[in-house]
Structure 1
Amino acid sequence: MSSRPNEPENALKEKDVLHSEVLDSPELMNTAFDGENREHEMGILEAVKSYPWACLWAFIFCFTIVMESFDMFLNGNFVALAAFQRRFGVFVGASSPSGYAIPTKWQSALFQSGQCGAFIGVFLAGPITNRIGYRWTTIVGLILMNATVFVSFFTPLLILVFLAPESPWWLIRHGRKEQALRSVTRLGRGRKSEDQDTFAMMERTVEIELAHGGAPSLLDLVKGTDLRRTIITCLIYASQNFAGNLIANQATFFFEQAGMTANFAFQLNMINSVLQFVANAGSWFLTAWFCRRTIFLWGAATNITLLFILGICASVPQNHQTNYAQACLGVIISFVFAGSLGPISYSIIAETSSIRLRALSTGVGRAAYYVAEIPMIYLASQMLNPTGWNLAGKCGYVWGSTAVVCWLMAFFFLPELKHRSYREIDILFARKVPARKFRSTVIDVKDNE
Structure 2
Amino acid sequence: MAENKDQARELGMRGHWKALLIVTLVSLSSFQYGLDFGIIGGLQAMIGFLQVFGERAPSTPLGWNINPERQQLISSLMILGAFISSSTAGFTAKYFGRKMSLWIACIGVFVSTAVMQSTTQIGGLYAGRLIIGLSNGLLMTHAQLYIQVDVRVSANREIKNSYIIPLGIVHVIPLVLTIGLFFVPESPRWLATSTEGRIDDAERALRRLRPEGWSIMAELDEMKAALAAEARLHSKVGYRTLFQNPIDRRRTIISVLGLTTQAASGAMFVISYGTYFFEMANVGNAFENSCILTGTGVAALLFNALIITKYGRRRVMMMSGFVVCGLSQLIMAIVYTIEPGTQKTGKVIVSLSVIYIVAYNALISTYAWLSGGELASQRLRSHTFGLATAIGFLGAWLTTFTAPYFINPAKLGWGPKYGYIWTGSCIVAGAWVWFYLPEVKGRSLEQIDEMFEARVPARKFRKYQCTGHHVTLDEKPRVDHVESQSSHGDSSEPQHSTANGSRTEI
TM-score class normalised by the smaller sequence: 0.7 to 0.9
Matching residue of 1:27: none
How has the CA–CA distance of structure 1 residues 435 and 160 changed in structure 2, closer, same or farther, with 3 Å as cutoff? same
Partners in 1 of 2:107 and 2:12 — Cα distance?
Answer: 33
Alignment of 1:41-440 (within 5 A): 42=9, 48-94=13-59, 96-150=60-114, 155-174=175-194, 175-192=197-214, 194-224=215-245, 225-246=247-268, 247-261=270-284, 264-290=285-311, 291-318=313-340, 319-440=342-463
Partners in 1 of 2:378 and 2:302 — Cα distance?
Answer: 27
Matching residue of 1:18: none
Amino acid aligned to 1:51 = H
Q: CA deviation at 1:265?
A: 0.9
Checking the alignment, whether the CA contact within 8 Å between 2:79 and 2:394 is kept in structure 1 is: no
Partners in 2 of 1:120 and 1:245 — Cα distance?
Answer: 21
Partners in 1 of 2:429 and 2:104 — Cα distance?
Answer: 35
How has the CA–CA distance of structure 1 residues 48 and 244 changed in structure 2, closer, same or farther, with 3 Å as cutoff? farther
Structure 1 gap segments, 5+ residues each: 1-31
Checking the alignment, whether the CA contact within 8 Å between 2:405 and 2:411 is kept in structure 1 is: yes
Checking the alignment, whether the CA contact within 8 Å between 2:264 and 2:422 is kept in structure 1 is: yes
How has the CA–CA distance of structure 1 residues 139 and 47 changed in structure 2, closer, same or farther, with 3 Å as cutoff? farther
Task: Tell which deviates more after alignment, 252-261 or 226-235.
Answer: 252-261
Amino acid aligned to 1:210 = A
- Residue-pair matches, total: 410
Q: CA deviation at 1:84?
A: 2.9
How has the CA–CA distance of structure 1 residues 87 and 178 changed in structure 2, closer, same or farther, with 3 Å as cutoff? closer
Matching residue of 1:441: 464
Checking the alignment, whether the CA contact within 8 Å between 2:71 and 2:404 is kept in structure 1 is: yes
Checking the alignment, whether the CA contact within 8 Å between 2:76 and 2:397 is kept in structure 1 is: yes
How has the CA–CA distance of structure 1 residues 68 and 406 changed in structure 2, closer, same or farther, with 3 Å as cutoff? same
Amino acid aligned to 1:280 = L
How has the CA–CA distance of structure 1 residues 302 and 328 changed in structure 2, closer, same or farther, with 3 Å as cutoff? same
Checking the alignment, whether the CA contact within 8 Å between 2:296 and 2:358 is kept in structure 1 is: yes
Task: Tell which deviates more after alignment, 425-434 or 83-92.
Answer: 83-92
Please say which structure displays the higher CA radius of gyration: 1
Partners in 2 of 1:51 and 1:222 — Cα distance?
Answer: 37
Partners in 2 of 1:154 and 1:385 — Cα distance?
Answer: 33
Checking the alignment, whether the CA contact within 8 Å between 2:54 and 2:66 is kept in structure 1 is: yes
Amino acid aligned to 2:183 = L
Amino acid aligned to 1:165 = P
Partners in 2 of 1:101 and 1:435 — Cα distance?
Answer: 49
Partners in 2 of 1:367 and 1:91 — Cα distance?
Answer: 37
Task: Tell which deviates more after alignment, 207-216 or 155-164.
Answer: 207-216
Secondary structure of the corresponding residue to residue 80 of structure 1? coil
Q: CA deviation at 1:144?
A: 4.2
Q: CA deviation at 1:252?
A: 0.8
How has the CA–CA distance of structure 1 residues 49 and 197 changed in structure 2, closer, same or farther, with 3 Å as cutoff? farther
How has the CA–CA distance of structure 1 residues 251 and 47 changed in structure 2, closer, same or farther, with 3 Å as cutoff? farther
Q: Which string of whole-angstrom CA distances, capped at 9 and with x for unpartnered residues, describes residues 47-96 of structure 1?
A: 533422222211211112333322222211111123333443344443x2
Partners in 1 of 2:396 and 2:248 — Cα distance?
Answer: 24
Amino acid aligned to 2:231 = L
Partners in 1 of 2:321 and 2:421 — Cα distance?
Answer: 17
Checking the alignment, whether the CA contact within 8 Å between 1:414 and 1:435 is kept in structure 2 is: yes
Q: CA deviation at 1:298?
A: 1.0
Q: Which string of whole-angstrom CA distances, capped at 9 and with x for unpartnered residues, describes residues 194-238 of structure 1?
A: 222222222222222222113421111122111111111211222
Partners in 2 of 1:87 and 1:313 — Cα distance?
Answer: 35
Secondary structure of the corresponding residue to residue 250 of structure 1? helix
Secondary structure of the corresponding residue to residue 157 of structure 1? helix
Checking the alignment, whether the CA contact within 8 Å between 1:33 and 1:201 is kept in structure 2 is: no
Amino acid aligned to 1:365 = A
Checking the alignment, whether the CA contact within 8 Å between 1:241 and 1:373 is kept in structure 2 is: yes
Amino acid aligned to 2:338 = V
How has the CA–CA distance of structure 1 residues 251 and 167 changed in structure 2, closer, same or farther, with 3 Å as cutoff? same
How has the CA–CA distance of structure 1 residues 419 and 256 changed in structure 2, closer, same or farther, with 3 Å as cutoff? same
Checking the alignment, whether the CA contact within 8 Å between 1:245 and 1:337 is kept in structure 2 is: yes
Checking the alignment, whether the CA contact within 8 Å between 2:260 and 2:368 is kept in structure 1 is: no
Q: Which string of whole-angstrom CA distances, capped at 9 and with x for unpartnered residues, describes residues 300-335 of structure 1?
A: 111112111111121212321111211221122112
How has the CA–CA distance of structure 1 residues 148 and 181 changed in structure 2, closer, same or farther, with 3 Å as cutoff? same
Q: CA deviation at 1:153?
A: 8.9
**Higher RCO structure, 1 or 2 (CA under 8 Å, sep 6+):** 1
How has the CA–CA distance of structure 1 residues 340 and 231 changed in structure 2, closer, same or farther, with 3 Å as cutoff? same
How has the CA–CA distance of structure 1 residues 100 and 162 changed in structure 2, closer, same or farther, with 3 Å as cutoff? same
Structure 2 gap segments, 5+ residues each: 118-171, 473-506
Aligned-residue CA RMSD in angstroms?
Answer: 2.3
Amino acid aligned to 1:157 = L
Scaled by the length of structure 1, the TM-score of the pair is 0.85
Checking the alignment, whether the CA contact within 8 Å between 1:243 and 1:300 is kept in structure 2 is: yes
How has the CA–CA distance of structure 1 residues 73 and 198 changed in structure 2, closer, same or farther, with 3 Å as cutoff? same
Partners in 2 of 1:144 and 1:106 — Cα distance?
Answer: 23
Amino acid aligned to 2:75 = F
How has the CA–CA distance of structure 1 residues 170 and 88 changed in structure 2, closer, same or farther, with 3 Å as cutoff? closer
Partners in 2 of 1:87 and 1:346 — Cα distance?
Answer: 36
Amino acid aligned to 2:464 = T
